[in-house]
Amino acid sequence: MFYWFVKGIFFPLVHFYFGLTRDGLEHLPRRGPAIVVSNHTSFADAIILGSAAPRAIHFIVLQWMYDRLLIRWFYWGMGTIPVRAEGQDSKGIKRALRVLASGRVLGVFPEGSRSSDGRLSEPRLGAAMIAALSGAPVVPAYIDGARDSLPVGGVFPKPARIHVRFGRPLRFERDRSGSGREALNAFAREMLLAIRRLEPVA
Number of domains in the chain: 1
Alpha-carbon torsion (189, 191, 197, 200), positive or negative: negative
In eight-state DSSP terms, residue 126 is: H
Q: What is the pLDDT of residue 132?
A: 94
**Residue 7 domain flag:** yes
Among 127, 141, 118, which Cα is nearest to 83's? Answer: 127
> Which of these, 162, 198, 149, 160, lies nearest to 38 by C-alpha position?
198
Q: How far is CA 135 from CA 26, 30, 57, 101, 193, in A?
A: 20, 17, 18, 10, 20
The CATH number of the domain holding residue 155 is 3.40.1130.10
**Predicted local confidence at residue 86, as pLDDT:** 57
- Residue 75: the pLDDT is 83
pLDDT the model gives residue 90: 83
Q: What pLDDT, on a 0 to 100 scale, did the predictor assign at position 174?
A: 73
For 143, the enclosing helix (H) or strand (E) is strand 138-144
Tell which residue, 82, 80, 22, 81, has the closest CA to residue 51: 22
Q: Which helix (H) or strand (E) holds 107?
A: strand 105-108
pLDDT given for residue 142 in this prediction: 97
Q: Are 41 and 152 in contact (CB under 8 A)?
A: yes
- 10-residue mean pLDDT series, the chain (202 residues): 85 84 96 96 90 94 79 84 74 93 96 83 89 96 90 82 96 73 92 95 70
What's the pLDDT score for residue 148?
85
Is 124 contained in some domain?
yes
Would you please indicate which residues are annotated as catalytic (active-site) residues? 40
The one-character DSSP state at 170 is B
Using a cut of 0.85, tell me whether the model's pTM lies above it. Answer: yes
Q: What is the pLDDT of residue 152?
A: 81
Residue 202, domain member (yes or no):
no
Domain that holds residue 50: 2-197
Residue 30, φ and ψ in degrees, nearest 5: -70, -25
Q: What pLDDT was estimated at residue 12? A: 80
